[in-house]
Structure 1
Amino acid sequence: MFVSLKRVLSWPQLLALGAAGIIGTSWAYMNTRFYSIYGPGGVILGYAIGTLMAFLVALAYAEMGSTIPKAGGEVAFVFPTLGPLGSFFVGWMFILSSVLAGAAFYVIGISLLLSWWLPSLYTIPIYSIAGVPVYLPALLLGITSAILILILNYRSVSLTGQAQLIMFIMLLLAGATILITALFKGSISNFANPSPFPQGENPLGLGLRFGLISIGYLSGFEGLPALAEEIKIKPRTFGLVIAGSVLVAGAFYMTMMFAGSLFVPWQQSYAIAHRGTIELMSRYSIWLGLIAWLASFLGLVTSWIPTVMTTSRMVFALAREGLFPSQFERIHPKYGTPTIALIFVTIISIIFGSLGEQGLIWFLDISGVGLGTCWLLSTLSMILTRRKYPNIPRYFKVPAGYLVGILGSGITLTVILVSIIPGTSLSLVWPYEYMILILWIVLGMIIYPFAKRRMNKLGIETVARNLLGEYYDVIYGKKEAKTETK
């Protein structure tokens, strides 16, 4: 039976979920390290290149997400061209990148951030992973925080959207404070003297190298199509928000990278401030340091919320398709949220988050493969959908769509290859990261035949109608879809 979610999210809330979900915390504590390698010029140029690359991919998501705006995003819109296997695989890899590198990362990362004020979090070691201890207070804090995020997502989509929007505005205000402080307290000579690029390095080469790194920090927009059945905006506006969230996040990154380079000579910044902007701001005032820390904290929380939110909708859609157990389809009668899927995502994130800081490194590295796979299948899906179903309504039609799709596919394939091919600067670490990736793929291969058996019992048309809803008839040419507007 087809079940649906509540339409409550406005476009500002959706933009907050997308842009803040991308921003995260790396800009606040990694900037001085980036300066020491690439120079502030290389970092800013790299973010500009990374933003452009991510934007090309986001355009494909915008077109497909607004053409087939159903819960699960990629799981739904790749189905007509790539079938059940492609739909399952993109969902499976989305869960890999979102649960392991997203939700599990935040279980660990919240303690790292709060240890600035509570160093006692890193006492009472209870076990070690690859020689790195896991501490009881830090683990308990991560678990408690994960449960609080679950409760927020569980109780109300509307409340979650409102909370996200408020925190996003606070994040922007904190960012503005950092920029103003840098302009008045810092100096442009710290950025430009003698050059914003390391001596003897090619600026474009630096930008391209950091661009490949920065694209990983520009992920998060791909989760927005999963919320398609919870928006109360026109499909075209939906597409604009998906694409626009990348531009907003990219602009924020570049602004913060510029601001951070004004405080001290960039060549010395990493030696002076290992912890990045927080430490740089603290040199002037404990209150300014607190604002920088708050911005970092808000970045973490506003990334965590949409990660859990969108991944649970992906699980929900896989259940609707018949590829996951039907229990994951359950929607709370009062709150209108996929409760079992939310609980499942939280439990898995806590389990993997319990691997501690070493796990954090593994998860971040592996996420590039999962993320790149989702991006690749989605950009290919746009190309194939245009060829196979040229007459379906496209409310956000990308100009030069085939060219954008080809460029986006090339970018995403590069992201995958630089991760899995040994010897590159972004290669996975042997043996742990390759083993985790292989085990995840093998687990999916084991699960899929059982899932396919259930799908066959339901019937492929029933499954497709459950997944695509009213868009089933649009895609297969039986009638026009109803435009989903407020």
Structure 2
Amino acid sequence: MDTKQLKSGETSGRTLSKSISIWGYLGMGIGAVFGSSWLLMTGIWLDAAGGPVNSLIAFIACFLVELPLVLAYYEAVPMIPLAGGELSYAYLGFGNFIGMIVGWFGVLVNIILCAWEVLAITRMLSYMIPAIDKAPALYTIGGAAVTLPAILLGLVVIIGIGFLQYRGTKLSSKFSAINTSIIIILALICVVIGAINFDPANLEPLQIKGTLDGSLSLLAMLPFSIAGWETISKGAQEASSGVSVKKIGLSVVISVGVAITMYILTLIVPTGLMPWQEMSGVTAPFATAMTRIGFPFLGTLLLFAACLGVIGVYNSVFFGATRLLYSLGEYGLIPKKFTKLHRKYKTPTTAIFFVSAIAVIVLFVGQSLFIPLVNVAAVSYIILWGSTLFSVIRLRSKYPDLPRSVKMPGGKPMMIYGSIVSIALLLTMLIPISPAALNWPSEYILLIVLLGLGIVLYFFRDKSMSETERSELILGSLHGKKED
């Protein structure tokens, strides 16, 4: 089909607000990746890797593993700058059902992260305010106590972000930009002070595990933390008039580069402030290290920054979940109710309430879902990222006339490398005998149940829309996009 011949005009999706600036995209992307793991997970990462050297190698390896997938978005986002993101790419490349599956996995990973961040904020605040953790349990699920303060704090986050998203994209994207800026500034201040007080003796021994064994052990854990940058793709349809689609794609690459650089800095600097072996027993190693060298106030600020990070991630992934739900409804792949927009704010109200409701349910279930949700989210991420790469490959031959302001750097060799990486990552998660596999059978069941929910929604989709109409709806929306 020649896209120039399409006559499709405006779609209801075009009524989404056009208010995200380039700083809003960067805030959304960086904020989704650089959340709180840099403060909470340092000791766990060092212990898994067996030292600073292996940890550094693992982060570099993670960047190289994700690079072809990031570069696929660099081509896909400017080519198809629609709210559906991966859903739109997969539908045009592989058709109706595959598009729905990819879109639903995108919904899942973002909703799971919303739930995870709500649980994380209660853990963070419990560390800062011990009285929260000492509150009597209302009930216990799976050995994890659920307390009233934890529920109330979680509800504040859910209602607060839900209100921001409800009131408009401009407000929530500005919040992302400001929130992310504060986090990076506070972290960099502590990095500079930490570098001045850096004692190389604290790095010894540089590694207590073999390089391959240690770095691979950590590498298996990192993709879940170095994730969220793809959220930018779901906001591509809501760019303000001065933002080109090319800049939106570039913001994906910049977000990953900035976030990984910050992760490495906030990992290495604390190891020079206190013996790294002691960090595994500390909840917030960088904050503890700053306190040890005589800056307790900065340690407290880092904890505050990490709390902001959790809220920032929630805000970004909440946005991603609602836009995917909206687009699934817009394309007739789930019930049309998800396309309802607020008359004044132009935000998808049904999708916002749906995601908020799921987050509330998980909040009342408590910490017992923490690890299973993380593992299922990891599978969802691999499917989401890999689908974009395969869609880019497919669309080059299926729709050669689509405007491509940029092409995936590295060409076919990078595409082949990315394809191998995607398939290998997915197999390591799904083959039961793999050391990185889901827990049998509970997490496989959870994955199947969540996928089944999407298929049920697909069954109740708007069946009046034909394949041709759906393709024209998507492709017709691409006209008039600013490329430069």
Q: TM-score normalised to the size of structure 1?
A: 0.92
* 2:67 partner letter: F
Separation in structure 2 between the aligned mates of residue 51 and residue 306 of structure 1, nearest angstrom: 21
Q: Is contact 1:54–1:246 with CA below 8 Å preserved after alignment?
A: no
Q: Which moved more, 1:72-81 or 1:387-396?
A: 387-396
* 1:212 partner letter: A
Q: For each residue in 1:56-101, what CA deviation from the matched residue of structure 2 results, as whole angstroms up to 9, or x when unmatched?
A: 201111211110111110111211111111110011111221111x
* 2:389 counterpart of 1:391: no
Give matches, 1:127-276, under 5 Å: 127-191=139-203, 193-194=204-205, 196-198=206-208, 201-232=209-240, 233-271=243-281, 273-276=282-285
* 2:89 partner letter: F
SS across alignment from 2:146: strand
Q: Which moved more, 1:105-114 or 1:383-392?
A: 383-392
SS across alignment from 1:221: coil
Q: Is contact 2:335–2:460 with CA below 8 Å preserved after alignment?
A: no
1:61 aligned residue: 73
2:27 aligned residue: 16
SS across alignment from 2:12: coil
Separation in structure 1 between the aligned mates of residue 138 and residue 442 of structure 2, nearest angstrom: 21
* 1:35 partner letter: L
Q: CA RMSD in A?
A: 1.9
How many residues in Structure 1 have an aligned counterpart in Structure 2? 468
Q: Is contact 1:29–1:278 with CA below 8 Å preserved after alignment?
A: no
List runs of 5+ in structure 1 lacking aligned partners: 472-480
Q: For each residue in 1:244-274, what CA deviation from the matched residue of structure 2 results, as whole angstroms up to 9, or x when unmatched?
A: 2111111111111111211112233334x34
Q: Which moved more, 1:322-331 or 1:144-153?
A: 322-331
Q: Is contact 1:316–1:328 with CA below 8 Å preserved after alignment?
A: yes
Specify whether residues 332 and 281 from structure 1 end up closer, same or farther in structure 2 by C-alpha distance, changes over 3 A only. same
Give matches, 1:323-342, under 5 Å: 323-342=333-352
* 2:460 counterpart of 1:462: no
Separation in structure 2 between the aligned mates of residue 135 and residue 255 of structure 1, nearest angstrom: 35
Specify whether residues 338 and 443 from structure 1 end up closer, same or farther in structure 2 by C-alpha distance, changes over 3 A only. closer
Q: Is contact 1:71–1:226 with CA below 8 Å preserved after alignment?
A: yes
Q: Is contact 2:318–2:355 with CA below 8 Å preserved after alignment?
A: yes
Q: For each residue in 1:103-141, what CA deviation from the matched residue of structure 2 results, as whole angstroms up to 9, or x when unmatched?
A: 001121111011123223232312222222221220121
Separation in structure 2 between the aligned mates of residue 400 and residue 181 of structure 1, nearest angstrom: 39
Separation in structure 2 between the aligned mates of residue 217 and residue 299 of structure 1, nearest angstrom: 12
Q: Is contact 2:78–2:248 with CA below 8 Å preserved after alignment?
A: yes
Give matches, 1:58-137, under 5 Å: 58-100=70-112, 102-122=113-133, 123-137=135-149
* 1:115 partner letter: S
Q: Cα offset for 1:348?
A: 1.2
Q: Percent identity?
A: 27
Specify whether residues 358 and 77 from structure 1 end up closer, same or farther in structure 2 by C-alpha distance, changes over 3 A only. same
Q: Cα offset for 1:385?
A: 0.8
Q: Is contact 1:18–1:221 with CA below 8 Å preserved after alignment?
A: yes
* 2:34 counterpart of 1:26: no
SS across alignment from 2:145: strand
* 2:227 partner letter: S
Separation in structure 2 between the aligned mates of residue 156 and residue 442 of structure 1, nearest angstrom: 31
Q: Which moved more, 1:251-260 or 1:3-12?
A: 3-12
Separation in structure 2 between the aligned mates of residue 427 and residue 121 of structure 1, nearest angstrom: 34
Q: Cα offset for 1:42?
A: 1.2
Separation in structure 2 between the aligned mates of residue 208 and residue 374 of structure 1, nearest angstrom: 22
SS across alignment from 2:107: helix
Q: For each residue in 1:198-217, what CA deviation from the matched residue of structure 2 results, as whole angstroms up to 9, or x when unmatched?
A: 2xx33244334322321221
**Moved >6 Å (runs of 4+):** none
Q: For each residue in 1:279-336, what CA deviation from the matched residue of structure 2 results, as whole angstroms up to 9, or x when unmatched?
A: 2223333302112102211211111111111110000000101112222112222212
Q: For each residue in 1:322-354, what CA deviation from the matched residue of structure 2 results, as whole angstroms up to 9, or x when unmatched?
A: 112222112222212112211111111221232
* 1:23 partner letter: F
Specify whether residues 3 and 384 from structure 1 end up closer, same or farther in structure 2 by C-alpha distance, changes over 3 A only. closer
Q: TM-score normalised to the size of structure 2?
A: 0.92
Q: Is contact 1:130–1:358 with CA below 8 Å preserved after alignment?
A: yes
Separation in structure 2 between the aligned mates of residue 171 and residue 220 of structure 1, nearest angstrom: 16
Query: Residue 46 of structure 2: which of 8, 11, 35 is its match?
Result: 35
Q: Cα offset for 1:458?
A: 2.3
